[in-house]
Amino acid sequence: MLQRVTNVFITLLTIFHWQIIGKVTIVLAALNFILNPDPYGRIASIGVVVVLFLLTKIASKYENKER
């Protein structure tokens, strides 16, 4: 099951632009934060958003260097 989820995720990464996947990830993290009563789930949601923010900063610096 985990292998199937990983394959689907990798396929989506190759099809869609990374900004679209980032926006969907933020929406899912927000829903998890709101709907999940588990405190560790909420911490994981915050962690996902922080990692996504860092990746966005790295990607923007990389794109600026190419121009």
With CA atoms as reference, report the closest residue to 43 among 54, 32, 53: 32
pLDDT per residue as tens, the chain (67 positions): 678 877 887 787 778 777 788 888 889 899 999 998 999 999 999 999 999 889 888 888 887 776 6
**Could you tell me if residue 54 is inside a domain?**
yes
Q: Which domain holds residue 59?
A: 16-66
For the record, the structure tokens of 66 come out as: 């190419």
- In this prediction the pTM is 0.67
**What gap in Å lies between CA 56 and CA 39, rounded to an integer?**
26
For the record, the structure tokens of 64 come out as: 């600026």
**Could you tell me if residue 25 is inside a domain?**
yes
**Could you tell me if residue 5 is inside a domain?**
no
Contact partners, residue 18, CB within 8 Å, separation at least 6: 59
Q: How many structural domains comprise the chain?
A: 1
Please state, as a whole number, how many other Cβ atoms lie within 10 Å of the Cβ of residue 45: 19
